[in-house]
């Protein structure tokens, strides 16, 4: 018998300064909707949030645990930020995996993500270790809204996370996706930006090559090479109907993101990561985001949580105000398996 459960959002986390009730005063903590039906109703723009509280994937991957506290730390960092667009926020609570039932937790997350995607709003999953991404994948493959769509995965990460291991972990989710796509007759379309060459073995580079993964190293993702980075993003956007964006916060330099399982000795600047997020969100193809590997107990001055919150609010704002909505174009998936 599993102890995985979904806990409702903690109202005490969603708090912050209140300057007034008019739209020009709005902050995230004031934009919370009562339920998904409210956030989806009357054509309102919105975003769906769900947390994944689990340390098991990182433990199996022999990393530093503590990301189970990440979802509420991310909510708390988002709460006081201003809303500069008219949208509502639905918080679906947190999938809590207090024991070692990782796979059951991912399955539960998958069912929740599928239902949230079918509201028609972008979904943001607050992790958790990078094993969160497999639960996100299960959700998008179960979603009626994304049925028949060609979904590309863009991972902002220092690691490929293509490890071939005896059991699933935070190091295996994208190899799991590749194998599941192959079994289902879908194309595995995977791009990674920020790879740390010293932190990925030769076998991981070989696996990436065999799977046709497009990637840029952290050194290639410099601000000076921003045009080249965005060209890589544009190539992916041109060939997909929808995007599953996965942000492992260890892609950022340790000075910006100290509170992660594996702090980066080099990393990709926040400026570059921000521009990548804007490019994806403004394409109208952003369906799903997971933000992972935040360890609040190790986060100096809340730096990592604040940086993550800045990226999330940028993504959501740009996605809900995108001039086109390619994802909800009924004909956009006709040419893909």
Residues tagged in the binding site annotation: 130, 157, 159, 161, 248, 250
Q: What is the DSSP string of 5-35?
A: EEEPP-TTTS------SSGGG-BGGG-B-SS
| DSSP annotation string for 123-156 | EEEEESSTTHHHHHHHHHHH-STTTT--EEEEEE
Enumerate the known binding-site residues for Mn(2+). Answer: 130, 157, 159, 161, 248, 250
The bridge status of strand 88-96 relative to strand 46-53 is parallel
Type and span of the H or E element at 184: helix 173-184
- Which DSSP letter does residue 260 get? B
Is the backbone peptide bond immediately before 128 cis, with ω within 30 degrees of 0? yes
User: Would you say 117 and 143 are in contact if contact means Cβ atoms under 8 Å apart?
Assistant: yes
Positive/negative CA dihedral, 327, 328, 329, 330? positive
Rounded to an integer, what distance in angstroms lies between the CA atom of residue 54 and that of residue 58?
9
Instruction: Kindly give the pairing relationship between strand 5-7 and strand 214-217.
Output: unpaired
């Amino acid at each position: 018998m599993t102890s995985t459960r979904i806990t409702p959002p903690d109202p005490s986390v969603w708090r912050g300064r209140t300057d007034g009730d008019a739209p020009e005063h709005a902050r995230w903590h004031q934009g919370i909707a009562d339920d998904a039906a409210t956030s989806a109703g009357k054509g309102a723009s919105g975003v769906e949030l769900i947390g994944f509280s689990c340390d098991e994937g990182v433990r199996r991957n022999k990393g530093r645990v503590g990301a189970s506290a990440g979802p509420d730390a991310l909510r708390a960092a988002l709460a006081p930020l201003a809303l500069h667009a008219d949208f509502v926020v639905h918080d679906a609570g947190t999938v809590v995996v207090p024991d070692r039932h990782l796979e059951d937790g991912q399955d539960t997350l998958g069912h929740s993500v599928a239902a949230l995607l079918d509201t028609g709003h972008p979904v943001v999953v607050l992790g958790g270790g990078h094993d969160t991404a497999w639960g996100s994948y299960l959700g998008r493959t179960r979603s009626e809204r994304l049925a028949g769509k060609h979904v590309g995965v863009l991972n902002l990460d220092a690691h490929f996370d293509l490890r071939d291991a005896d059991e699933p972990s935070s190091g295996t989710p994208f190899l799991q996706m590749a194998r599941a796509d192959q079994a289902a007759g879908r194309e595995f379309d995977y791009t990674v930006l920020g790879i740390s060459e010293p932190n990925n073995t030769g076998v991981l580079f070989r696996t990436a090559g065999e799977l046709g993964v497009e990637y840029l190293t952290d050194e290639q993702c410099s601000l000076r090479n921003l045009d080249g980075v965005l060209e890589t993003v544009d190539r992916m956007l041109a060939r997909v109907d929808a995007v599953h964006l996965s942000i492992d916060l260890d892609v950022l330099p340790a000075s910006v993101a100290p509170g992660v399982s594996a702090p980066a000795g080099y990393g990709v600047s926040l400026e570059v990561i921000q521009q990548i997020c804007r490019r994806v969100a403004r394409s109208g193809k952003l369906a799903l985001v997971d933000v992972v590997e935040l360890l609040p107990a190790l986060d100096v001055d809340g730096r990592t949580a604040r940086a993550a919150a800045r990226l999330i609010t940028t993504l959501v704002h740009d996605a809900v105000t995108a001039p086109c909505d390619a994802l909800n174009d009924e004909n956009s998936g006709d040419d893909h398996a």
